[in-house]
Amino acid sequence: MKQRAHEAVLEDVVAPLERLNQPEARRAATAARVALNQLASLPKDRAEWHAKGSLRLVADAAQAATLYRVAETAGERYEKLATLYIRHFMDHEEYPDWALSDSDIWGVGLDAARIGS
């Protein structure tokens, strides 16, 4: 924080998520922004104490931002994966049943029966 490295994270990770028309992306952006701002507001010893959990959350947001960025050129599959990632790792939801049989996610021609075997 002293060297303001978090500002690059806000610009490179959080801002692109905020610009997306996806509720999950916006939730991830908000969570990362709040985590970074909270760390920045704490005294050094308290910030170090809370850094691991906060930075894990920021890393999850960065992963989602990367998947959304890949989706711009590689297709809807990566957008779906980003949404699933946020819902599972950031919102702590179970994977939805529809994801198991979505051939866009797992590959062309795969179905739930083949994945489960």
Spans of all domains in the chain: 6-116
Q: What are phi and psi of 89, to 5 degrees?
A: -85, -25
Residues with Cβ within 8 Å of 53's Cβ and at least 6 positions away in sequence, in order, are none
**CA distance to 45, 67, 97, per residue, from 110 (Å):** 51, 21, 15
User: Digits of tens for pLDDT over the chain (117 positions)?
Assistant: 667 777 878 888 899 999 999 999 999 999 999 999 898 889 989 989 989 999 999 999 999 999 999 999 998 999 999 999 999 999 999 988 888 888 888 775 444 445 454
- Is pTM beyond 0.85? Reply is no
